[in-house]
A and B are shown apart, each in its own frame.
Chain A
């Protein structure tokens, strides 16, 4: 069966520090991968999606970036965090041709 791993679960980082969140999927190959952000009490905002290795589409311009170095690995990064980057970051995957999304447990990021 397929599983998605996302870590860390919680993270407190100072303003201006770098960020690296990792997500891996097991039990499937060539998935579509997604990063969403959810501000407190708000909806889910699509940040990036990827249909293959090295292919990244950005939905919202900001100081975050994403990379897909391997088929089932998706990384969210920032060189310098802002206070406004605080939120709940969710990685998700879907099968090619199907947009039903399976979410990881999420990372709760607090920038202080």
Chain B
């Protein structure tokens, strides 16, 4: 499957600061999905992007798919302690299964 690279690996922010994680691929992706995994929990689906340049928002979260469909980002505005966890991007170019990036672990200090 197509490998996606995520940066940064870790991010520590103060509550109220913004946070962004990036997902990059060397080849064009058919789609990109984002998941959140709370500490000790299992990954939970957040969103899927399929169109070039697509932008979707979920409250304080903004998801973008690049024009060339080779990169994606997740931006959180004014982080809260409930945002703590690891954020994964994943793609399914094979059409059957998802291949996940290594994730960005977010720590939010009150």
Contact = CB atoms under 8 A, between A and B. Distances in A.
Contacts, number: 52
Contact of B102 (A43, A57, A90, A103): A43
Interface string B3-24: 0000000000000000000000
Contacts of B85: none
A44 B97 contact: no
B97 A99 contact: yes
A35 B96 CA distance: 13
Q: How large is the interface on A (under 10, 10 to 19, 20 to 34, 35 or more residues)?
A: 20 to 34
Q: How large is the interface on B (under 10, 10 to 19, 20 to 34, 35 or more residues)?
A: 20 to 34
Given A57-B96, A99-B97, A43 B44 contact: no
A62 B1 CA distance: 18
Contacts of A43: 88, 100-103
B39 to A, nearest CB: 11
Interface of A: 32, 34, 36, 41-44, 46, 49, 51, 57, 59, 90, 99-106
